A = this chain, B = another copy of it.
């Protein structure tokens, strides 16, 4: 598949690049960004996939997290992507911030209205890695990380594909979408009423059946305005204890749900992933 360079900026000795391409799985144009550290000219590098939260595009993390400084030091490629296709003309796609545009929830929709275009699960796990691996000097070594809805995406995808990802981490993730408001709205809207179908996108459910127990590393702010109702991390903590699944959950005193929180701890996440990735 052809990809089209939209913008490119020198950054920490490497290159921050923005692309557009026609996605086969989403039947729609999609955009992504890739940070190529200076070491990219020497050898094939591993890739960290970053999944953003509600409303975000590929740009938010690029601008706000300050991750490229550390990526340039470690020799890590970072890929970010839009959180859904956009401007498709689907009725209601722009009606709310937490469903439709900017809210793909990293799943494959089955409801007829969305199923042709909202296949972010296949996009993240299949199509985008193929594009990255065929267009840039990267290895097949990869890790995954995300925030909020993207934290849900990272945990859920890694739990289902422990063979594909060397490591996973998350900031302020949705961990029990079947049981919390953002997730319930999305799962019902994209998958319909059959709650059995929701389970494969619910990290708390996936922990119960995980055979390869990929460790989960999570940072969560104690002053996060969404913690109590929308995130409910204690649900993941409980199921990880019950099923003996390795979880490092760090409650970070006084931090909220914003990118200021992500910026404060992204370096530790990059170094965490770096320890799992082969160079």
Report A's interface with B, CB cutoff 8 A. 9-13, 16, 63-64, 66, 68-69, 221, 223, 254-256, 258-261, 263-264, 267
> Knowing that A9-B258, A10-B223 are A-B contacts, what are 18 other residue pairs whose CB atoms are under 8 Å apart, sorted by A's residue number?
A9-B256, A9-B261, A10-B221, A10-B254, A10-B255, A10-B256, A10-B260, A10-B261, A11-B260, A11-B261, A63-B63, A63-B64, A63-B259, A64-B64, A66-B69, A66-B263, A69-B263, A69-B267
Query: 28 A–B contact pairs at CB < 8 A?
Result: A9-B258, A9-B260, A9-B261, A10-B221, A10-B223, A10-B254, A10-B255, A10-B256, A10-B260, A10-B261, A10-B264, A11-B260, A11-B261, A11-B263, A11-B264, A12-B263, A12-B264, A13-B264, A16-B260, A63-B63, A63-B64, A63-B259, A64-B64, A66-B66, A66-B69, A66-B263, A68-B263, A69-B263
Q: Which partner residue on chain B sits nearest A258 by CB separation?
A: B9
Kindly list the 6 A-B residue pairs having the minimum CB-CB distance in the complex, ordered from nearest: A66-B66, A9-B260, A11-B260, A10-B254, A10-B255, A12-B264
Chain B residue contacts of A10, Cβ below 8 A: 221, 223, 254-256, 260-261, 264
Chain B residues with CB under 8 A of A16? 260
Using CB atoms, name the residue of chain B closest to A62: B260
A219 to chain B, nearest CB (A): 13
Question: Cβ of A263: which chain B residues have Cβ within 8 Å of it?
Answer: 11-12, 66, 68-69
A266: min CB distance to chain B, Å: 10
The complex places the Cα of A64 from the Cα of B65 at a distance, in Å, of 8
